[in-house]
Amino acid sequence: MGVRAMVGMSHPELGDLDTLVRRALAEDLHAGDITSLAVVPEGMQARGRVLAKQGLVFCGGPIAVEVMRIVDTRTHVAVLVPERTLVDSGAILAELDGSARALLAAERTMLNLLQRVCGIATLTRRYVDAAQGRCRIVDTRKTTPGLRALERYAVRCGGGFNHRNDLGSGVLIKDNHIRCVGNLAQAVRRARERSSHAHVVQCEVNDITELEQALAAGADAVLLDNMDDEAIATAVAIVAGRVIVEVSGGVTLERIARLAGMGVDVVSVGALTHSAPAVDLSLELDT
Amino acid sequence: MGVRAMVGMSHPELGDLDTLVRRALAEDLHAGDITSLAVVPEGMQARGRVLAKQGLVFCGGPIAVEVMRIVDTRTHVAVLVPERTLVDSGAILAELDGSARALLAAERTMLNLLQRVCGIATLTRRYVDAAQGRCRIVDTRKTTPGLRALERYAVRCGGGFNHRNDLGSGVLIKDNHIRCVGNLAQAVRRARERSSHAHVVQCEVNDITELEQALAAGADAVLLDNMDDEAIATAVAIVAGRVIVEVSGGVTLERIARLAGMGVDVVSVGALTHSAPAVDLSLELDT
Amino acid sequence: MGVRAMVGMSHPELGDLDTLVRRALAEDLHAGDITSLAVVPEGMQARGRVLAKQGLVFCGGPIAVEVMRIVDTRTHVAVLVPERTLVDSGAILAELDGSARALLAAERTMLNLLQRVCGIATLTRRYVDAAQGRCRIVDTRKTTPGLRALERYAVRCGGGFNHRNDLGSGVLIKDNHIRCVGNLAQAVRRARERSSHAHVVQCEVNDITELEQALAAGADAVLLDNMDDEAIATAVAIVAGRVIVEVSGGVTLERIARLAGMGVDVVSVGALTHSAPAVDLSLELDT
Amino acid sequence: MGVRAMVGMSHPELGDLDTLVRRALAEDLHAGDITSLAVVPEGMQARGRVLAKQGLVFCGGPIAVEVMRIVDTRTHVAVLVPERTLVDSGAILAELDGSARALLAAERTMLNLLQRVCGIATLTRRYVDAAQGRCRIVDTRKTTPGLRALERYAVRCGGGFNHRNDLGSGVLIKDNHIRCVGNLAQAVRRARERSSHAHVVQCEVNDITELEQALAAGADAVLLDNMDDEAIATAVAIVAGRVIVEVSGGVTLERIARLAGMGVDVVSVGALTHSAPAVDLSLELDT
Amino acid sequence: MGVRAMVGMSHPELGDLDTLVRRALAEDLHAGDITSLAVVPEGMQARGRVLAKQGLVFCGGPIAVEVMRIVDTRTHVAVLVPERTLVDSGAILAELDGSARALLAAERTMLNLLQRVCGIATLTRRYVDAAQGRCRIVDTRKTTPGLRALERYAVRCGGGFNHRNDLGSGVLIKDNHIRCVGNLAQAVRRARERSSHAHVVQCEVNDITELEQALAAGADAVLLDNMDDEAIATAVAIVAGRVIVEVSGGVTLERIARLAGMGVDVVSVGALTHSAPAVDLSLELDT
Amino acid sequence: MGVRAMVGMSHPELGDLDTLVRRALAEDLHAGDITSLAVVPEGMQARGRVLAKQGLVFCGGPIAVEVMRIVDTRTHVAVLVPERTLVDSGAILAELDGSARALLAAERTMLNLLQRVCGIATLTRRYVDAAQGRCRIVDTRKTTPGLRALERYAVRCGGGFNHRNDLGSGVLIKDNHIRCVGNLAQAVRRARERSSHAHVVQCEVNDITELEQALAAGADAVLLDNMDDEAIATAVAIVAGRVIVEVSGGVTLERIARLAGMGVDVVSVGALTHSAPAVDLSLELDT
């Protein structure tokens, strides 16, 4: 932790950070920072520390760098903790040197972004630890509008995997599709015939009958939705490794170990992104 | 609940919904909806119901309308529940009629937005109920980047009030400002002299000494930060109604009633927006 | 063709047409239309016909509608030809009624968009016809920057299929990846272990040795790159239907039938999108 | 070619490259690059070469620089070939040094842009060579929506000239305008009276009668549209150098020399931008 | 004035009003309208009148319509005065019916736009009247950043003409270009040889010597910059109608008639757009 | 003035300059700079000076820097005059070194921005000087759409203060609100009860009766609108320092001293932003 990790400015896997951060800053700086303008002398330099006020899995260093770069290119940012690191309460995550007004202008936007990605990484890590490497923990498309790329990154930083990114990056036949077609098997067959060879065809099933239909129709993967442990165990036995088995619905931390033990391949958890509590961070300045 | 509330398309207090929803949809529909394209027949019509799968305070009807309008102007949306209504699990919140492909394309984006605003309104309501009308519950600037206008609206729908919107809409002198100036009283005086007459000057204080300095220097409001109940009671007595007293830090649902009883004017709660769990909603289609 | 096909305004599979068309119009109308302003009387009404000046596969009706809607909501547009229809030279594709100035302002932007999508659909249809239903013709990511959604739609309108949309919607291991890892088999194994269960793992191979490595390492699909017919035949025999076989590189219209006959599943053709000649269209006005 | 040409980052004549490239990258990197993320080790450095796989007129060096800058500011780009240079197949156009993941993320977007501008420059050069300096080859407004600035630049790099950029940068009276006004001469007179002194008034004519009307009414330039060689020769003789004579419609490479020989000033060719085949380029990495 | 002029929603000559108005509204409604939210009952309907508080040339009706459409599509707007009309103080320019909160949210943005365009039209009209039809009054590129299209429209509404719109829509050689080339005649010749046939070549001259050089080198138009009346008269005599003569610099209302009398073709006035005082307008509501 | 003031690139109080300047440049450089392209040799270097052609209060140095940075990052800009300085005609405000084409491309956009902010600062200074420190001069929301942040900055540079930034940053009850509610006192009471504790409640009054109602209802500040001097004197006496007294309407430079002498706290002047004449600036190049 005493070693400064250099963090560059460009991170394709985080999407267009420049645009996202500019938009976030615009919410808070629409009319400038009138407190600093009145109170803090023009040109005053300061040093700031981003502190963890609780144990957490850190990620988002490049976000902190980007926020400061956009507010004031002359600020120096040193991210002290590598991405994906579990730190204790009190850890200094980053140090900032620059204009006091710039640090204060950037503070809330930076923390709002970091507290969310670290919150997601921290919650994901708990699920991943519970799975003990016996099944994958994956996210869902239940992400915060506007922040999907960051939230999926945070899931990976917590040791999770990503599900398909969007409606165009994988075929997943759900109840509503089946109701439209009238028949699970036909839905799977239509998907096989009409979707790209570049995509997996996965089908949501609610019981063993549907599972057998999905397998017979040629699904590459199944999603056992809201099934109880017993039904899941039966399903895993029927599948017998021929296709990927994903479980979702009603997944708690407590249940993960049990699911992992049954031979499920993947457990998807919407709460990773839609309900992860923010972690507690603060920025403290010296002048 | 059986009466259809007409919801119009324009809601200045929700900000530029058109832009926000377009951006949210772009995340999910970047490459179209390949499942529906393959599985659901072109031109098929469907009816959908948005359901509450838990008790919740509903809000965001105009958001649902806007999402559907942008995906397909020909969809008919009827929001069945007025904004700010507490509903039980199972309630039908809205009905949608239109192209099945359009409903499926819009589904996740609509639910991701609604589950968040309803989640915030629902959590806020719990705090507001605990305060029993004896003090205000207000939000903070700890909002989700990109969604501040919606989240502040959701807080109001839950019965809460908003704090200043951004760094330019109110003067709030915090620890970091005081460290820059070196002296709380001078910070307040500079704010008085140099900020607009159109703004309240509020000052964060950590103890009774600071409180007295802030009052002497002419603050219009004080923010008692992370003080215990005893100190807060003393502070309220000292202020004696001359300025607004806000409390923040370590505020739990349990503590609200106590704070309200002490004569505190305002309690601000970051968790309303940064850690409200999403509520559970679903969209069910018939054809 | 004598029957008017109603075309609605919202087409999720075409992406955010509103934004795209607005941007296209801005290129041409940055400073207004000075010729019409000077020459055409204010308020004059006109009727226009979009004509095919060559045989072509038509698509893009919703684009025409959207261009006119943005230029002048009061224009009436009737698209006369259903999407995906093969028409002869001279066919009237659409009729427009509205302000003469609006029609003239929209003309070039509308035609520039239509001539491209129809050009792609028309070229794709020739490849698809050559394949006689024995293999799929698919596009590549070699699309025009800014127009990918429209171009992929045009490929589908010509009877082709789409490959993965973007770098995040499928795993395709190519020469450059293998050079980075140093070893094809290891690249495939890393992809299997580290990418989402929601994605196919496809691997490009240059010869039979690489093909066998890819199969052994567990690829879901292979891409035979720039191999001659003899090698392709051998490859198809080795694969024996276990995984998808795609061919790319040096694919001409003449060679398609031969490839289709060999049992190849998919032939990808970059030229569909990067080099399809525009079709010849015109707009003719009456007043 | 062995000398490295420094290419700077700012090129007003290419328009707002930052915005254009960001938009292009967003199409391909919407969900990150999942193949590289899985397969290529984090932090691995690589060197890449952009190669011409056919003879071509090179242009777009600043585009390559800008794409890499936006993906990863730490990449070093050396463009080895000056703009407007004719190179042989096999030429190394540029060298890139940086993170392997960044080079792979940028690859397709960079090549999609370069293959188009080089394609246009290469085709333009063929027309320009055919004209042997005896008449100008100019583009039209039949450009790719979103890419007009780049395509016009490419035409100039091939030795061509640009026609007016947009509907606001020159007066060009066409058939549709004349139909609105009912009379060619009146259209030209209205243009003369009502348009800015800063603009040329050009008029499209279809035969000798119209030509004479246009001249009598005071046109600054005429556009002979779809006229045969004989009529064009007559027209040139009638004009006798008093105004600019432009020819368009049915212009093939073979016909250029003939037109140039007749004394035509300008030949405009829509195909330069709407139908130029992409050139064949590749990016090859070493690590 | 008693007759309601219907005003449509789409006006190509005003540019992308939707985007411009959305941006303007965002400045004022960033955090909603907290006064109306607190004070005005939800759902209250009101009627408003836009009043001229001084004599003025009205224009911008479509802007008022667009502002209200974006704030609340349910508002009815009737523009009572045709574009380009001179009205007296007290005239009712438009009537609005709709939600009181929507009218109040739109008020300032609407008036800020209208007061500027009417201000420009009103000032332009004074110059045009002074010229008594003997020379053209034209604007310059000294416009307000972001509002050029509207301001040029306002100039036309006042009876003025527009100069070139931007640096790409006309060739105008100025002092700085000549200093770069070292020689006026060479600058004009380079422009003739290298710029598009679709553009006028105009050259700024400071005295009679330069005028003669410009004419000899083939300029299509000259701009007499900051020359006194005597020199202008000489220049007009020398030019003798061969090319357009524009005068700029030090042009006051008083001097216009004199310049017009000398035979100058065009007088350009930067103040039309950069220093026109706003006109006085107000919105008055009834409920 | 002989000392070079370093000007950095990031200025939170000016808002998102990058976006604003890019948009402004796009208006002028939409189709490139065809004059420079034709006339000025590629690669030519030049030095430019921005000159004051009249006495003025300078501000906007960071704007000049940002315009040049976006047009060409290789340009060197030295702003020679500190913000807020009063300079004489002839002063050199900034020096620029870089590509001649880049300087010419940036010239008009830079000057259009500077002439406006300096114009506002210069006019504000005249009002501030007239007030002799006895009352504050403040701006209004009557700003140019798109430029509010810059214009408010310019007011501060001229020695003025800002009023609330937007409809969400302060409560100001005006005539139209009172007409909606029917009663001034009730409007003030509703505002007190329902708006945030973080906002001042100010109320516009037209006469002494209304003033007394506003005071009784608990307004924090009053705005005396269009009252004559006598009434204002009475109002100041009645208020007797209990709340802020602002005067607006019919405020001329001549009247300021008188108002200041009466004990008014704040005088707001719409003309500062909506009708300040542009100052006269020029850019002169050497090569």
Res C271 pLDDT > 80 = yes
pLDDT for A105: 97
Task: Give catalytic status of residue A225 as yes or no.
Answer: yes
Percentage of residues in chain F having pLDDT higher than 90: 92
Q: Which of D200, E4, D194, E83 is nearest to C41 (CA)?
A: D194
Q: What number of other Cβ atoms are within 10 A of residue A179's Cβ? A: 17
User: For residue F6, is pLDDT > 50?
Assistant: no
pLDDT, residue F7, reads 34
Whether D169 and E169 lie within 8 Å, measured CB to CB: yes
Q: Return the residue in D10, D65, D148 with the most chain F beta carbons within 10 A, the one to mutate for interface testing.
A: D10
Q: What's the pLDDT score for residue B141? A: 98
How far is the C-alpha of F140 from the C-alpha of F135, rounded, in Å?
16
Give the separation between CA F44 and CA F41, rounded to whole angstroms.
6
What's the mean pLDDT when you consider all of chain F?
94
Closest listed residue to residue E10, CA positions, set B211, C49, F141, C71? C71
Please provide the average confidence, as pLDDT, over all residues in chain C: 94
Mean pLDDT of B99-126: 98
- At A8-52, the pLDDT tens digits run 345 778 988 989 999 999 999 999 999 999 999 999 999 999 999
Q: Which residues of D touch C195 (CB under 8 A)?
A: 34-35, 37-38
Beta strands in chain C (DSSP E): 45-52, 56-58, 76-79, 85-87, 92-99, 136-138, 171-173, 201-205, 221-225, 244-248, 266-268, 281-286
The DSSP bridge pattern shows strands B92-99 and B76-79 to be: antiparallel
Cα–Cα distance for residue pair E110/F62, rounded to 1 Å: 30
Give the residue, E184 or D1, on which the prediction is more confident. E184
Show the tokens assigned to E255.
Answer: 């001097």
CA–CA min distance D283, chain A (Å): 18
Q: What is the C-alpha separation between F193 and F171, in angstroms, rounded?
A: 12
Partners of C25 on chain F (C-beta within 8 Å) are: none
**Contact pairs from chain A to chain C, CB under 8 Å:** 72
The answer, yes or no, to whether residue B5 has pLDDT greater than 50, is no
pLDDT 10s digits, B186-202: 999 999 999 999 999 99
Is the pLDDT at E74 greater than 50, yes or no?
yes
Whether E189 and E218 have beta carbons less than 8 Å apart is answered as: yes
Which residue of chain A has the CA closest to C243?
A197
CA angle F278, F281, F285 (to 5 degrees): 155
Looking at residue D5, the DSSP 8-state letter turns out to be B
In one letter, which amino acid is A195?
S
Residues whose CB is less than 8 angstroms from the CB of residue C203 and which lie 6 or more positions away in sequence, other chains included: C172, C173, C184, C187, C188, C191, C214, C217, C219, C221, C222, C223
For B:119-158, CB contacts with A below 8 A are: 119, 141-148
| Partner residue opposite D10 with nearest CB, options F30, F32, F74 | F74
d(CA F161, CA B194): 8
Q: Is the pLDDT of residue C2 over 60?
A: no
The H or E element spanning position A279 is none
Q: Give percent helix, percent strand, percent coil of chain E, each to the nearest 5.
A: 45, 20, 35
First to last CA, chain D: 24
The whole-angstrom distance between C270's CA and the closest CA on chain D is 10
pLDDT tens profile E21-67: 999 999 999 999 999 999 999 999 999 999 999 999 999 999 999 99
- The reply to whether residue C10 touches residue B102, judged by beta carbons under 8 angstroms, is yes
Give the C-alpha separation, B274 to E180, whole Å: 58
C108 has catalytic annotation = yes
Q: Which amino acid is at C27?
A: E
The active-site residue, picked from C33, C139, C225, C265, is C225
Contact C39, D173 (CB under 8 A): yes
CA dihedral E56, E57, E60, E65 (to 10 degrees): 60
Alpha helices, H only, chain A: 17-29, 34-39, 61-71, 100-131, 148-157, 175-181, 184-194, 208-217, 229-239, 253-261, 271-274
- The neighbours of chain A, by the rule of 3 or more Cβ pairs under 8 Å, are B, C, D, E, F
According to the model, what pLDDT value does residue C105 have?
96
pLDDT at D287: 81
Q: Identify the pLDDT of residue B13.
A: 83
> Under DSSP, is residue F42 helix (H, G, I), strand (E, B) or coil?
coil
Q: Are F135 and F265 in contact (CB under 8 A)?
A: yes
Question: Under an 8 A CB cutoff, do C38 and D171 touch?
Answer: yes
- Centre a 10 Å sphere on the Cβ of residue B186 and count the other Cβ atoms it contains: 14
Give the torsion through C-alpha atoms of A94, A96, A100, A102, to 10 deg. Answer: -90
CA distance F47 to chain A (A): 26
**Closest CA–CA distance from residue D152 to any residue of chain F (Å):** 9
According to the model, what pLDDT value does residue C10 have? 58
Mean pLDDT confidence for A99-114: 97
Contact yes or no for E138 and D170 at CB 8 A: no
Q: Chain F contacts of B166, Cβ < 8 Å? A: 169
Burial of B238 (C-beta count, 10 Å sphere; 0-12/13-18/19+): middle
Q: How many residues does chain E have?
A: 287
Closest CA to B121 of B81, B79, B64, B159: B159
pLDDT, one tens digit per residue, over B17-69 is 999 999 999 999 999 999 999 999 999 999 999 999 999 999 999 999 999 99
For B204-248, what is each residue's pLDDT tens digit?
999 999 999 999 999 999 999 999 999 999 999 999 999 999 999
**Residue A133, phi then psi, degrees to nearest 5:** 75, 5
Query: What is this model's ipTM?
Result: 0.95
Q: What digits encode the pLDDT tens for the residues E172-208?
A: 999 999 999 999 999 999 999 999 999 999 999 999 9
CA distances for C216 relative to A243, B160, C204, C209, C242, angstroms: 18, 61, 14, 11, 11
What is the per-residue pLDDT for A245?
A: 98
User: Which one of E49, E126, E134, E142 is the catalytic residue?
Assistant: E142
pLDDT of residue F16: 85
Q: Give the active site residues of B.
A: 108, 142, 174, 204, 225
- Give me the pLDDT at residue C287, please: 81
Please count the other Cβ atoms lying within 10 Å of the Cβ belonging to residue A207.
Answer: 14
Chain D stretch 102-121, residues whose beta carbon is closer than 8 A to a beta carbon of chain A: 102, 105
Neighbours of A51 (CB within 10 A): 16
Taking residues E109-116, what's their average pLDDT? Answer: 98
Q: Would you call F83 a catalytic residue per the annotation?
A: no
CA distance C193 to E239: 81
Q: Contact, B173 vs A104, CB < 8 A?
A: no
Enumerate the residues of chain B whose CB falls inside 8 A of the CB of residue A37: 194-195
Residue C45 near residue C89 (C-beta atoms within 8 A)? no
Using an 8 Å CB-CB cutoff, list chain F residues near B221: 197-198
Nearest CA in chain F to E284: F176
- Contact across the interface for B170 and F199, Cβ inside 8 Å: yes
* Cα atoms in the Cβ-side hemisphere of radius 13 Å centred on D263: 14
User: Residue range F43-50: average pLDDT?
Assistant: 96
Q: How many CB atoms lie within 10 A of CB E73?
A: 12
- Round to whole Å and give the CA distance between A165 and A142: 10
Give me the pLDDT at residue A10, please.
58
C100, C283 contact by CB (below 8 A): no
Distance of CA E258 to the CA centre of its chain: 24
Residue pLDDT, tens place only, E42-55: 999 999 999 999 99
Catalytic option among A33, A83, A204, A210: A204
Instruction: Name the minimum distance, in Å, from the CA of E165 to any CA of chain C.
Output: 6
* Reported confidence tier of residue E5, pLDDT bands at 50, 70, 90: very low
With an 8 Å Cβ cutoff, are C74 and E165 in contact? no
Q: Quick: pLDDT tens for C182-204.
A: 999 999 999 999 999 999 999 99
CB pairs under 8 A between E and F: 237
Positive/negative CA dihedral, B70, B76, B82, B85: negative
Give the pTM.
Answer: 0.95
| D161 DSSP assignment | B
> Would you place residue D10 in the very low, low, confident or very high pLDDT band (cuts 50, 70, 90)?
low
* DSSP reduced 3-state for E172: strand
Q: Which helix (H) or strand (E) is B8 found in, with range?
A: none
Alpha carbon distance E166, D200 (integer Å) = 15
> Strand A244-248 vs strand A221-225: parallel, antiparallel, or unpaired?
parallel
> Beta-strand (E) ranges in chain B?
45-52, 56-58, 76-79, 85-87, 92-99, 136-138, 171-173, 201-205, 221-225, 244-248, 266-268, 281-286
